[in-house]
Chain A
Amino acid sequence: MEGFLPPFWCVFWFAVSLPFVAYGCYRLDRLVREERETLPLLAVAGAFVFVLSSLKLPSVVTGSSSHPTGTGLSAILFGPFLTSVIGLIVLLFQALLLAHGGLSTLGANVFSMGIAGPFVAYGIYRCGKTIRLNTFVTIFVAAAMADLVTYLVTSLQLALAFPAQSGGIVGAFVGFALIFAVTQVPLAIVEGVIIALTFKYIIQSRPDILVRLDVLSQEQVTKIREAFK
């Protein structure tokens, strides 16, 4: 939220996020020069993350409005650096079109939602693929962890800015994390299930997209489609 973090931490998180986004922009420029047709497709993914995160997710805890982050999906499809650029743009649009988040806290939000979460999701997905874990289990774990890591990093950011009297930063971190856990843990599980199911539908109707982006190999797609028949 705008104005929530003290000035030092606003600047700090901008500085931390900058190298990731800058490298992402460099990758983006190179990609656009080499394969022009990828730009509109990246844009589609960005708009998809925006629309998904502005929808209310079916929530287990009644009364809490919970939003999926959707960045796990983008990280699996395009890798973490391009996702950090998409994350920056989506968060900027959320601030300007929906009045969610803020401009001074943009650095902190980009780090938690656009960098930390996607990196973990991408790492898990690649590991799962290497050790040949079931594709849907891997996607579920990757998407759910992206969500959990995003909220743990947010708790850490809050704890660093507002340490507790007893227990200091660690105490405050535990406090914020416990309060968020009530809504975020069920949300992460639901988001994991939804992203995994989303992949199932994409594999059923347009598997060529996933093969082209090197998310799945052709043999994996054939195997999964065989299993559904």
Chain B
Amino acid sequence: MEQILDVYAQTNALRDVDTRLKLLLGVCAIIIGVASQSPAAPFFIAVSMAFITVALAKIPVRLYASLITIPVSFAIFSAIIILLMSGGGEPIFTFFIAGYPIGATTASANLALLVVMRTFGGMCSLYFIALTTPITEIFSVMHTLRFPRGLIDLSMLIYHFIFVLIGETISIHTAQVLRHGYDTFRNSVQSFAMLGAMVFIRAWQQGEDLVIAMDARCYDGKLELADESRKPGRVVIGATIVYLGACAYLAWLTATMNIF
């Protein structure tokens, strides 16, 4: 089972900061990072976002490091493919595989570096949102932004059922492992299918029970949301705007910069 980040979102030190401000900071940082033409701005965003998440929101460094390794290693792997496939500029090195020339050029090296840095910056900004903002608060913001009713209600119910199902899945999975259910490949396919089907059936029953429970409480097809947002202080708003401005300025300033 994967690590569920919701626990940290509910308990971190920035939990009570206004949700809209946190979403604005995270989403704008992602947009600036993606739109940037040079690796400098995304790198700055990555380092500062990591700092904010670890130092201000007090997320354990060890957890943060283990989270960031997976996407960054994937990004590096994919960037190597881009490095070898795209072209332009001066060749740096070339070698032959089965008679085909494969190599890196200055333009492809710049592109690969840019992609790695954008992913790094983007992931750090995404982790900032995921680790500091509880999903329940995001529903309230979606509601204020007038997202379709059905979409919000469905999201809230899916969110509720995820935790119900994870509990069921863990118990069934443990029972299967104890009975050598995943010993051979054949067994594991059987067990996994059985696990999937049983979780589905149990979940379906839970869904039917919920319908009855909701009907008993006069459910009319709409779920109500309690909106309790506090206004953030001027200093915090100011700091956010200055930070985003600095990131955007850095991206604009270094737009034509190339490493190779």
Contact = CB atoms under 8 A, between A and B. Distances in A.
A2 B125 contact: yes
Contacts of A7: 34-35
Given A33-B221, A197-B194, A175 B207 contact: no
Contacts of A1: 71, 74-75, 119, 122-123
A193 B189 contact: yes
Contacts of B25: none
Contacts of A165: 85-88, 105, 108
Interface stretch (B11-19, B195-203, B230-238, B240-248): B195-203
A58 B189 CA distance: 7
Interface in A164-184: 164-166, 171-172, 175-176, 179
Nearest to A166: B87
Contact of A164 (B86, B119, B158, B162): B86
Contacts of B149: 29
Interface residues of B, number: 85
A90 B158 CA distance: 8
A58 B182 contact: yes
A60 B185 contact: yes
Nearest to A5: B34
How many chain A residues sit at the interface, stated as a range, is 35 or more
Contacts of B105: 165
A158 B81 CA distance: 11
Q: Is the interface of A mostly helix, strand, loop or mixed?
A: helix
A125 B242 CA distance: 54
Interface string A33-45: 1001101111110
Contacts of A52: 196, 199
Contacts of B138: 96
Contact of B151 (A3, A28, A31, A95): A28
Contact of B193 (A40, A43, A193): A193
A97 B158 CA distance: 13
Given A1-B71, A4-B115, A54 B150 contact: no
A49 to B, nearest CB: 9
A43 B158 contact: yes
B57 interface: no
Contacts of B3: 98
B255 interface: no
Interface in A145-197: 158, 162-166, 171-172, 175-176, 179, 190, 193-197
Contact of B153 (A39, A50, A93, A194): A39
B199 A51 contact: yes
Interface in B177-234: 182, 185, 188-190, 192-194, 196-201, 203-204, 206-208, 210-211, 214-215, 219-221
Pick the most buried of A89, A92, A163, A205: most chain B CB atoms within 10 A of its CB.
Answer: A89
A43 B207 contact: yes
Contacts of A138: none
Contacts of A221: none
A215 interface: no
Contacts of B81: 175-176, 179
Interface in B64-105: 67, 71, 74-75, 78, 81-82, 85-88, 105
B135 A93 contact: yes
Given A40-B211, A104-B31, A51 B126 contact: no
A194 B193 contact: yes
Q: Across chains A and B, which 5 residue pairs bring their CB atoms closest together, nearest first?
A: A165-B87, A3-B122, A2-B122, A201-B197, A197-B193
29 contacts: A2-B30, A7-B34, A29-B148, A36-B215, A36-B219, A36-B221, A39-B153, A41-B204, A42-B157, A43-B157, A43-B160, A44-B161, A46-B157, A47-B161, A48-B203, A58-B182, A58-B188, A88-B151, A93-B155, A93-B162, A102-B30, A166-B87, A194-B196, A197-B193, A197-B197, A201-B198, A205-B197, A206-B201, A209-B204
Interface of A: 1-7, 10, 25, 28-29, 31-33, 36-37, 39-44, 46-48, 50-52, 54-55, 57-58, 60, 85-86, 88-90, 92-93, 95-99, 102-104, 158, 162-166, 171-172, 175-176, 179, 190, 193-202, 205-206, 209
Interface of B: 1-6, 27, 30-31, 33-35, 42, 67, 71, 74-75, 78, 81-82, 85-88, 105, 108, 111, 115, 118-123, 125-127, 129-130, 133, 135, 138, 148-151, 153-155, 157-162, 164-166, 169, 182, 185, 188-190, 192-194, 196-201, 203-204, 206-208, 210-211, 214-215, 219-221
